[in-house]
Amino acid sequence: MTPAIHALKAAAVSYRLEEYDHAPGNRDYGEEAAEALGLSTAEVFKTLLGKLDDRQLVVAIVPVSCRLDLKALARAGGAKKARLADPQEAQRATGYVLGGISPLGQKHKLATFLDSSAESLGEIHVSGGRRGLEVALSPTDLLALTQGRFAALQSR
């Protein structure tokens, strides 16, 4: 059981686990999950770590079908600029490996932003804390558990 699953159980929210066989070497983790589970890439969200003004790590959760707009992330976080965090730094801060970074159960509490496209969805899928494990839950439950908020994060 991953820290993400522990967090979900402790919070007693409604969720569903979905597993699939991760193909070693496949680095398109979100698209792989969507295809394996028969989901739209607009329903499966990837968890990215950004760095605001080169000092503050934040979590950005966006559909796998889009790119993260770093200027939008900076605005959401009240910063002048944002960049993607170094992969090693992301793994250290979250306790998860790339392709399995969950917004839930991270080692450090980070400001979290969920793309506003999730507002219109009853359920979204995010990593369950390892490659090949997805969690289906409501966007509002995800925000409550992460103390996050909606923000327009997609690159247009």
| pLDDT value at residue 155 | 82
pLDDT digits (tens, 9 = 90+) for 46-96: 999 999 999 999 999 999 999 999 999 999 999 999 999 999 999 999 999
For domain 3-151, the CATH architecture is Alpha-Beta Complex (3.90)
| pLDDT value at residue 156 | 65
| pLDDT value at residue 25 | 84
The residue type at 98: L
Q: How far apart are CA 142 and CA 136, in angstroms?
A: 10
pLDDT higher at 155 or 101 = 101
Q: Please report how many Cα atoms fall inside a 13 Å half-sphere around the Cα of residue 60, on the Cβ side.
A: 31
pLDDT averaged over every residue in the chain: 95
| pLDDT value at residue 140 | 97
Is residue 117 within 8 Å of 154, Cβ to Cβ? yes
The residue type at 138: S
**Tokens 């507002």 sit at which residue?**
119
pLDDT digits (tens, 9 = 90+) for 8-44: 999 989 999 999 999 888 888 999 999 999 999 999 9
